[in-house]
Amino acid sequence: MPPPRAVAPTAVRTATNIARMGDKSEYVDRESVADVIAFLTSSLARNISGHVITLA
């Protein structure tokens, strides 16, 4: 069983979020979220467990 890990981005830059929250808000790019998830699912993250990765 893989160790528990979580990714907690703030607002992710999407068309819906920009339409609802405006373009002045700070957003995390979807690609950045995907990069972190790809890392956490790789063998490079084998020693990371029980952590929440906050993206801002």
pTM score, whole prediction? 0.78
Interatomic CA distance for residues 48 and 26, integer angstroms: 27
pLDDT at 2: 62
Token look-up 């956490």 returns: 40
List pLDDT tens digits, range 2-45: 667 889 999 999 999 999 999 998 999 999 999 999 998 899 99
Token look-up 């609802």 returns: 20
